[in-house]
């Protein structure tokens, strides 16, 4: 196995094709930065979706064993997603090294494309639980006219939106847990009081020794 072939660097490093560098246009230096930052965003979105797919597969189970490795991996992978999102926020500082005038040197060449058309970003939103009913001007988000999605992308997005999301599945999981059964609360209260009486009878030195 060779480093560049394993990472498909021939495809990745050839994927930056600035419009302003094409014949007949005035090259805009910062367009390369613009492309690389957004391509990096999309790669991280792919990783987030990959992690969420696993997490959703756990919560879709009819029964979740709290003592299995599943929930530990869910916690671990959710934490990973948080770190990825923190990294993505830091990338904004890179974009800010490009002035508005630098951006305007090539922005007109990109019309009518926009970040709104990031399918993966919208899928991430959907998987986490942002429902269409909670969006402002919902009709704006489901369109294929200028500046909207291509039909195949919109179809893929609508499929993702129709499936159970993380928020729904976690609520469903919590509803299956027995904590709201009065019987369990009575048993818990009795056990907790018994344990508290044990600790209250221990002096500080004994407690430290046990710890």
Q: Are residues 49 and 88 in the same domain?
A: yes
- How far is residue 163 CA from its own chain's centroid? 16
Residues of the chain with pLDDT below 50 are: 199, 202-211
Q: Are residues 103 and 202 in the same domain?
A: no
| Omega before 112 within 30 of 0, i.e. cis | yes
Q: Are residues 130 and 52 in the same domain?
A: no
Q: Are residues 25 and 104 in the same domain?
A: yes
Looking at residue 203, its pLDDT comes to 47
The DSSP string of 144-189 is -STTS--HHHHHHHHHHHHS--HHHHHHHHHHHSGGG-HHHHHHHH
The pTM for the full model equals 0.81
User: Which of 87, 110, 133 is the last residue before a domain boundary?
Assistant: 110
Q: Are residues 99 and 117 in the same domain?
A: no
Q: Are residues 188 and 116 in the same domain?
A: no
Q: Give per-residue pLDDT as tens, 149-191.
A: 999 999 999 999 999 999 999 998 888 776 666 666 677 667 7
Euclidean distance between CA atoms 188 and 190, whole angstroms:
5
């Amino acid at each position: 196995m060779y480093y560049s072939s394993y990472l498909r660097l021939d495809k990745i490093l050839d994927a930056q094709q600035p419009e302003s560098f094409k014949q007949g246009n005035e090259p805009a230096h910062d367009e390369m930065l613009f492309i690389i930052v957004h391509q990096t965003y999309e790669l991280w979105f792919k990783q987030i979706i990959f992690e969420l797919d696993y997490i959703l597969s756990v919560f879709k189970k009819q029964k979740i064993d709290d003592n299995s490795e599943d929930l530990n991996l869910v916690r671990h992978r959710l934490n990973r997603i948080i770190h990825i999102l923190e990294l993505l926020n830091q990338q904004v500082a890179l974009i800010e090294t490009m002035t508005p005038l630098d951006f305007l040197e090539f922005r007109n060449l990109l019309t009518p494309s926009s970040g709104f058309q990031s399918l993966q970003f919208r899928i991430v939103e959907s998987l986490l639980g942002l429902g269409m009913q909670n969006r402002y001007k919902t009709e704006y988000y489901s369109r294929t006219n200028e500046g909207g999605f291509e039909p195949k992308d919109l179809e893929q997005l609508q499929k993702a939106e129709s499936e159970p999301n993380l928020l729904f599945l976690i609520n469903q999981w919590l509803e299956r847990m027995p904590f709201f059964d009065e019987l369990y609360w009575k048993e818990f209260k009795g056990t907790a009081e018994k344990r508290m009486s044990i600790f209250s009878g221990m002096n500080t030195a004994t407690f430290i020794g046990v710890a």
